[in-house]
Amino acid sequence: MLIAQISDCHIRDHGGALARLVDTTETLRRVVDHLVGLDPAPDVILATGDLTDDGTASQYATLLDVLAPIADRLLPIPGNHDECPLFREAFADLIPADVADGHCSYVVEDHPIRLVGLDNSIPGRHDGRFDAVRESWLNDVLAAGPDRPTLVFTHFPPFETGLRFMDDAGLLDADRLRSVIQRSPQVRLLVTGHLHRPIHTTIGSTLVSTCPSTGNQIGLDLHPERGAAVDEPPAYQLHRWDGERFVTHTGLVRDPASVRTISLDGFVAEIQRRVEAGEPFTK
């Protein structure tokens, strides 16, 4: 199974420094075009929050227009920049009807991997919280499928990254979520957004990965008193499940006009020929 992930699209309709750095609507269109062209095609595409910058109706209208080519495979979850009532209205056709009470969390059972969307956003706040209500919901969901390989997708990462200003406005009660994951080895992969960078760690036996943004990234600078938004290329991730393990790839989506390519198809064909003939890979 092939699972794509996009995150932190931050569709905006106002000016300001970040808007001058990256036109997030244009970069999301470029990422969507790229995803549509992938072969093999992803079975599902997770969108892990901050899909708009302010959660307004007009930003959701733009977002839906840009995402239309991949809407048939999209599973969105809100972030701290979204507004839950409008988010749920915008994605009413995509989110299962039996969404959790009081938070926009849900489960999708129709794939080889059980997909659990966990909403840790809190209305009116920039940080998130894995509170007792969410903890109880996630415990019940995971208890219903202890032997099924599971992917949990959410907005806030439940670990310190060393990017201090992002950690300080991160997930409250993250230790509760780490404890749930630690005692749930069927959760083979936990993926998040919010960091605008690809970052990897582990919780117990679970691989944990954060997805870069389809707009601007956060600069890699671990100095505790600094922070920056940078125009590193928009990106996405591909999580490949082979029945035994997940492998996570990060793909950058530069302006096609600036990408130089040399085809290696002939080399690929030669490798395949040697494999089929049982020939050694001598130089």
Give the binding site for Fe ion (CB under 5 A): 8, 50, 79-80, 194
The closest residue (CB) to Fe ion is 50
Task: Give CA–CA dist 220/98, Å, rounded.
Answer: 39
Select 1 or 18, whichever has its Cβ closest to Fe ion.
Answer: 18
| Least CB distance to Fe ion at residue 8 (A) | 4
Select 6 or 253, whichever has its Cβ closest to Fe ion.
Answer: 6
Residue 167 sits at φ, ψ, to 5 deg, of -60, -40
What letter represents residue 75's amino acid?
Answer: L
Answer whether 199's CB lies under 8 Å from 210's CB.
yes
Task: Give CA–CA dist 10/40, Å, rounded.
Answer: 27
| Least CB distance to Fe ion at residue 213 (A) | 6
Select 18 or 133, whichever has its Cβ closest to Fe ion.
Answer: 18
| Least CB distance to Fe ion at residue 206 (A) | 21
Select 50 or 83, whichever has its Cβ closest to Fe ion.
Answer: 50
Buried b (16+ CB within 10 A) or exposed e, 219-248: eeeeeeeeeebeebbbbbbbbebeeeebeb
Report the DSSP pairing between strands 199-203 and 187-192.
Answer: unpaired
| Least CB distance to Fe ion at residue 169 (A) | 8
Select 194 or 239, whichever has its Cβ closest to Fe ion.
Answer: 194
| Least CB distance to Fe ion at residue 80 (A) | 4
